Amino acid sequence: MAQQFDVIVIGAGPAGYHAAIRSAQLGLKTACIEKWRSKDGKTVLGGTCLNVGCIPSKTLLDTSHKYSEAVHDFDDLGIKTEAIAIDVPAMMVRKDNIVNRLTQGVAALFKANGVETLAGSALVRAGSTVELTDGEGNQSLLTADHIIIATGSVPVEIAACPLDGALIVDSSGALAFQSVPKKLAVIGAGIIGLELGSVWNRFGSEVVILEALDEILPGADQQVAKEALKQLSGQGLDIRLGTRVTGTEVSDDQVNLHYSDAEGDRQESFDQLIVAVGRKPCVDHLLAADSGVAQDEGGFIQVDELCDSPVAGIHAVGDVVRGPMLAHKGMAEGIMVAERIAGQQTLVNYDCIPAVIYTHPEVAWVGRNEQQLKEAGIEYSIGMFPFSVSGRAMAANQTAGFVKVIAAADTDRLLGVHVIGAQASELIAQAVSAMEFGASAEDIGLTMFAHPTLSEAFHEANLAVDGQAIHISNRRRRK
Ligand code: FAD
Ligand code: AMP
């Protein structure tokens, strides 16, 4: 007989494990199915984020940033060092240890909360039934009142650049290099391409990033994207816009890359190539023909604002559904669905999702940018504050970038906050809180900020919306 649960979650990435833990906390009999296995056959929890995404990439970004500071900036601070070197295998061991600690932490949380982990691949069938196939090919049937699909996403592959796992890799491969490539190509100047390009550039690789579009970071405020391009190019990243990769050949341990740009068809040789051209929803062997669950034209599982599919009792959350492919967006959706199953009225505020790019300087934003507001015909005022005049930024030798606050011209409510600068990933949290509470620029202006901090730049940018900033000459800009 089929095993019965209140809730079955498919996928133990951030969206799935949040949904599973919250469901169990709320007293629901919960199982979480995960197909990821380690080389020694053990089930691996945590999904893309913990294993080959957010956490390993930030580990390498933080290490490479420290290395870069030691090599390039310590002298300016009066710190004398002997020759600095990077031990890549040691860095990777540390990264793997952090990943293991966190993935085992999810397993411990499942145990503590009474979530049953089921190893294997799930297929959703009609009638709230899930067919589970374990690593040995054994099949069993499970039923549940609610099924939460959280199967995430996988890297997009392009026919022009077939991966070989050694010279041509995706983001997972680029997080496991055992040495610094001399000359490295990255296809795609999206978030992942810029972050991974930065890591290896800081360790001394000659990095060329090839991007088909004429701009980087199309989702960012254009003023911020331009500043990011300037800063990253200044660090030695060779970012070539309007450049489309059309093919590759591998010979003599080299990748010969074919591409076209304004000057026509060209080719260039590299030691390694990272393909970072985006991600797509993971739906392979997930939906039986009779499941009733539909996908949109991009392959994403169709759901409404509440993450409910048209089939009663089937929900989907995280990267496998519409919206930005960000871990925290999936976590919020997972919690919402679990709480609604338990009868609560939780919602996700899709207007308040922070986005962060962990380059240096970091880029972060929440809410709408100038392009979007112009397109929507909404009048707004802008307050800007540069880190170059912040005492704390000077003390920290981190004066690049600015905070840009956009407030509604009529109500003064914050519509968007855009930061490029050191610790933008942390600074943006206060903007998210302010916007969640419907704050106006004046509200933030009337709030006290500790001195000296980088957060004072957020305070001053809000004051600048109405021409009241203290440490810059104010020019009011109303659009
Ligand atoms: P996933 O994390 O992809 O997890 C899905 C899980 O489902 C996987 O474990 C998979 O094995 C399992 N699964 C799939 N199909 C089945 C099946 N049929 N049966 C059983 N199990 C199945 N986001 C951020 O917010 N911040 C960052 O800094 C950031 N950095 C990133 C860096 C990189 C290099 C990459 C690649 C991604 C990064 N992301 C970042 C994106 C983030 O990793 C994803 O948004 C997040 O992991 C999505 O969570 P999820 O739970 O929806 O899916
Ligand atoms: P993202 O989806 O944000 O990770 O970004 C992926 C980037 O890769 C996009 O900006 C695409 O324009 C870019 N891209 C996709 N295919 C190619 C290609 N063949 N050559 C160059 N850039 C590409």
Find out whether the peptide bond into 324 is cis, omega within 30 degrees of 0.
Answer: no
Q: Is the CB of 150 under 6 A from ligand 1?
A: yes
Of 18, 151, 200, 283, the one to substitute when testing ligand 1's pocket (max ligand atoms within 8 A of C-beta) is 151
Asked if 94 and 394 touch (Cβ cutoff 8 Å), the reply is no
The 10s digit of each residue's pLDDT in 142-164 is 999 999 999 999 999 999 999 99
Residues 365 and 315 in one domain: no
Of 157, 170, 238, 277, the one to substitute when testing ligand 2's pocket (max ligand atoms within 8 A of C-beta) is 277
Residues 115 and 241 in one domain: no
The 10s digit of each residue's pLDDT in 184-213 is 999 999 999 999 999 999 999 999 999 999
Q: Would you state the structure tokens that stand for residue 409, as one six-digit string?
A: 């011209």
Q: Please state whether beta strands 314-316 and 279-281 pair in parallel, antiparallel, or not at all (unpaired).
A: unpaired
Q: Which of 333, 351, 369 is the last residue of a domain?
A: 351
**Close Cβ partners of 236 (under 8 Å, ≥ 6 residues apart):** 201, 206, 207
Q: Which residues carry out catalysis?
A: 451
Any idea what the CATH number is for the domain that residue 26 is in? 3.50.50.60
pLDDT for 477: 53
Confidence of residue 476 (pLDDT cuts 50, 70, 90): low
Residues 220 and 80 in one domain: no
Confidence of residue 471 (pLDDT cuts 50, 70, 90): very high
Number of the ligand closest to the Cα of 153: 1
In a domain, 161, yes or no: no
How far, in Å, is the centroid of ligand 1 from the Cα of 47?
5
Question: Roughly what angle, to the nearest 10 degrees, separates helices 424-436 and 456-464?
Answer: 50
Residues 229 and 338 in one domain: no
Per-residue buried b or exposed e for 384-420, using 16+ beta carbons within 10 Å of the residue's own CB: bbbbeebebbeeeebbbbbbbbbbbeeebbbbbbbbb
How far, in Å, is the centroid of ligand 1 from the Cα of 171?
12
**Which atom of ligand 2 is the closest one to the Cα of 192?**
4
Q: Kindly state the average pLDDT of the residues 431-436.
A: 98
The 10s digit of each residue's pLDDT in 173-183 is 999 999 999 99
**Which atom of ligand 2 is the closest one to the Cα of 161?**
19
Is residue 479's pLDDT more than 80?
no
Query: Considering the chain, what percentage of its residues have pLDDT values greater than 70?
Result: 99
Average pLDDT, the chain: 97
| Nearest alpha carbon, ligand 1 atom 41 | 326
This model's pTM is above 0.75: yes
Q: Which of 351, 379, 398 is the last residue of a domain?
A: 351
Is residue 85's pLDDT more than 90?
yes
Is residue 112's pLDDT more than 80?
yes
Residues 227 and 292 in one domain: no
pLDDT for 395: 98
Q: Kindly state the average pLDDT of the residues 308-321.
A: 98
Is residue 62's pLDDT more than 70?
yes
Element (H, E) at 298: none
Q: Is the CB of 386 under 6 A from ligand 1?
A: no
Q: Is the CB of 121 under 6 A from ligand 1?
A: yes
Spacing of C-alpha 345 from chain mean position: 27
Residues 62 and 125 in one domain: yes
Number of the ligand closest to the Cα of 325: 1
Q: Is the CB of 11 under 6 A from ligand 1?
A: yes
How far, in Å, is the centroid of ligand 2 from the Cα of 158?
10
Confidence of residue 475 (pLDDT cuts 50, 70, 90): low
In a domain, 17, yes or no: yes
Rounded to whole angstroms, the Cα distance separating 440 from 442 reads 5
Any idea what the CATH number is for the domain that residue 454 is in? 3.30.390.30
| Nearest alpha carbon, ligand 2 atom 15 | 277
Q: Is the CB of 132 under 6 A from ligand 1?
A: no
Q: Is the CB of 109 under 6 A from ligand 2?
A: no
Confidence of residue 478 (pLDDT cuts 50, 70, 90): low
The 10s digit of each residue's pLDDT in 385-412 is 999 999 999 999 999 999 999 999 999 9
How far, in Å, is the centroid of ligand 1 from the Cα of 12?
9
| Nearest alpha carbon, ligand 1 atom 29 | 54
Of 211, 216, 261, the one to substitute when testing ligand 2's pocket (max ligand atoms within 8 A of C-beta) is 211
In a domain, 137, yes or no: yes
Range of the structural domain that residue 24 is part of: 3-155+280-351
In a domain, 473, yes or no: yes
Is residue 296's pLDDT more than 70?
yes
Alpha helices in 279-414 (DSSP H): 327-341, 370-376, 391-395
**What's the domain count of the chain?**
3
Q: Which of 218, 244, 277 is the last residue of a domain?
A: 277
pLDDT for 2: 85
Number of the ligand closest to the Cα of 15: 1
Nearest Cα to 103, choosing from 20, 187, 45, 175? 45
In a domain, 313, yes or no: yes
In a domain, 312, yes or no: yes
Q: Is the CB of 421 under 6 A from ligand 1?
A: no
Residues 150 and 44 in one domain: yes
Query: Considering the chain, what percentage of its residues have pLDDT values greater than 90?
Result: 97
In a domain, 459, yes or no: yes
345, burial (CB in 10 Å: exposed 0-12, middle 13-18, buried 19+): exposed
Residues 199 and 347 in one domain: no
Q: Is the CB of 307 under 6 A from ligand 1?
A: no
Q: Is the CB of 329 under 6 A from ligand 1?
A: no
Is residue 227's pLDDT more than 90?
yes
Residues 392 and 468 in one domain: yes
Residues 290 and 405 in one domain: no
**Which atom of ligand 1 is the closest one to the Cα of 120?**
20
SS3 397: coil
Q: Would you state the structure tokens that stand for residue 410, as one six-digit string?
A: 């009529």
Residues 108 and 218 in one domain: no
Residues 25 and 136 in one domain: yes
In a domain, 193, yes or no: yes
pLDDT for 23: 98
Confidence of residue 43 (pLDDT cuts 50, 70, 90): very high
DSSP code string of 402-463: EEEEEEETTT-BEEEEEEEETTHHHHHHHHHHHHHTT-BHHHHHTS---SS-TTHHHHHHHH
Number of the ligand closest to the Cα of 277: 2
φ, ψ of residue 31 in degrees (nearest 5):
-125, 150
Rounded to whole angstroms, the Cα distance separating 40 from 43 reads 9
